[in-house]
């Protein structure tokens, strides 16, 4: 569609979109297909001598899907996962999804701990390290939920929800690491101030403890931010395609949730 072109069917397409429960990419394609057909059919009617308003009304009557057609389209374009998941029922499927997420999160948490154990960094770990690892597991759970909803379940309302919490979680992880490092550093400096002779015994151990805490929190926060960036960019692409199909200003997409 060329910029500035008159698009008389946008109000009808927007009303239709609100009732069309299919994944966003398929919804956008369907709306584009429909708009082209509506415009072309109207032009045909006008060429046959019909007044423009009547031609538009006839084209809408012929091509705009009604409730039954929308339901059928919804079923046809349902994601494979939803089609497969219908065998279990919504409650059972939700239970399976939560169970799988809990197991995956536990595995990631165990993998994080195992990596630190292999490097012999947990022997004298700061208690803050466990807080950071907990935030890391929560970040993984948030990213996995968003990615699953976007790419596997293909939720029709994915634009409204967006990858919420990932950036905040990353910031909290980073903050926990820095607060922990500050507390640990205050503690060791106080200890060494009172007992300067301990510097050779505890200095290196405390340095490793603080570096482990900081590097772990920074790594997990960066991974969380990276996951947010990828999901966010993907959603921006979807939101822009939807905005174009519906004639919204793409610099001001209506789906604030996706971009928050």
Partner 1 sequence: MSDGFDVQGFARDIHELLVLAALRDDAKHGYQIALDVETESNGQFTFRHGTLYPILHRLEGEGLIQGSWSTAGGRRRKVYALTRAGRGHLDGRTDHVQRIVSGLMELLRGPGQAPA
- The residue ranges that bind partner 1 (CB under 8 A) are 1-2, 29-30, 32-34, 36-38, 40-41, 44, 59, 61-66, 68-70, 72-73, 76-77
Distance of alpha carbon 165 from alpha carbon 187, whole angstroms: 32
Nearer to partner 1, 44 or 187 (CB): 44
Q: How far is the CB of 69 from partner 1 (least distance, A)?
A: 4
Nearer to partner 1, 44 or 256 (CB): 44
For residue 230, CA distances in Å to 169, 225, 255 come to 16, 9, 17
Question: Tokens at residue 145, please?
Answer: 């939920």
Nearer to partner 1, 73 or 113 (CB): 73
Q: Contact, 56 vs 9, CB < 8 A?
A: yes
Nearer to partner 1, 32 or 164 (CB): 32
Nearer to partner 1, 77 or 154 (CB): 77
Question: Tokens at residue 48, please?
Answer: 């046959």
Q: How far is the CB of 32 from partner 1 (least distance, A)?
A: 5
Nearer to partner 1, 69 or 205 (CB): 69
Distance of alpha carbon 85 from alpha carbon 93, whole angstroms: 6
Distance of alpha carbon 140 from alpha carbon 223, whole angstroms: 9
Q: How far is the CB of 240 from partner 1 (least distance, A)?
A: 15
Q: How far is the CB of 252 from partner 1 (least distance, A)?
A: 23
Q: How far is the CB of 3 from partner 1 (least distance, A)?
A: 9
User: Who contacts 52 (Cβ-Cβ below 8 Å, separation ≥6)?
Assistant: 42, 46
Angle, helices 90-118/199-246, rounded to nearest 10 degrees:
150
For residue 3, CA distances in Å to 7, 135, 243, 244 come to 10, 46, 13, 10
Burial of 13 by CB count in 10 Å (0-12 exposed, 13-18 middle, 19+ buried)?
A: buried
Nearer to partner 1, 213 or 245 (CB): 245
Question: Tokens at residue 241, please?
Answer: 């395609």
Question: Tokens at residue 152, please?
Answer: 């596997």
Q: How far is the CB of 65 from partner 1 (least distance, A)?
A: 3
Q: How far is the CB of 45 from partner 1 (least distance, A)?
A: 10
């Amino acid at each position: 569609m060329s910029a500035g072109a008159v698009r008389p069917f946008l109000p009808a397409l927007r009303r239709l979109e609100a009732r069309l429960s299919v994944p966003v990419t398929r919804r956008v394609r369907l709306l584009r297909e429909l708009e082209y057909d509506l415009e072309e059919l109207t032009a045909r009617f006008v060429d046959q001598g019909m007044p423009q308003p009547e031609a538009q009304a006839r084209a809408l009557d012929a091509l705009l899907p009604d409730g039954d057609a929308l339901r059928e389209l919804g079923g046809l374009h349902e994601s494979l996962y939803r089609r497969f998941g219908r065998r279990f029922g919504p409650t059972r499927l939700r239970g399976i999804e939560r169970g799988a997420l809990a197991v995956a999160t536990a595995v990631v948490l165990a993998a994080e701990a195992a990596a630190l154990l292999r490097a012999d960094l947990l022997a004298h770990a700061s208690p803050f390290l466990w807080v950071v690892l907990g935030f890391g597991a929560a970040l993984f759970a948030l990213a996995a939920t968003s990615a699953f909803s976007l790419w596997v379940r293909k939720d029709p309302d994915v634009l409204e929800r967006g990858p919420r919490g990932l950036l905040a979680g990353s910031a909290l992880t980073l903050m926990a690491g820095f607060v922990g490092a500050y507390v640990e550093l205050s503690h060791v400096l106080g200890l060494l101030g009172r007992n300067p002779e301990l510097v050779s015994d505890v200095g290196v151990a405390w340095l490793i403890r603080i570096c482990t805490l900081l590097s772990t929190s920074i790594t997990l926060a960066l991974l969380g931010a990276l996951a947010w960036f990828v999901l966010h960019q993907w959603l921006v692409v979807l939101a822009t395609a939807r905005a174009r199909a519906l004639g919204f200003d793409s610099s001001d997409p209506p789906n604030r949730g996706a971009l928050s």
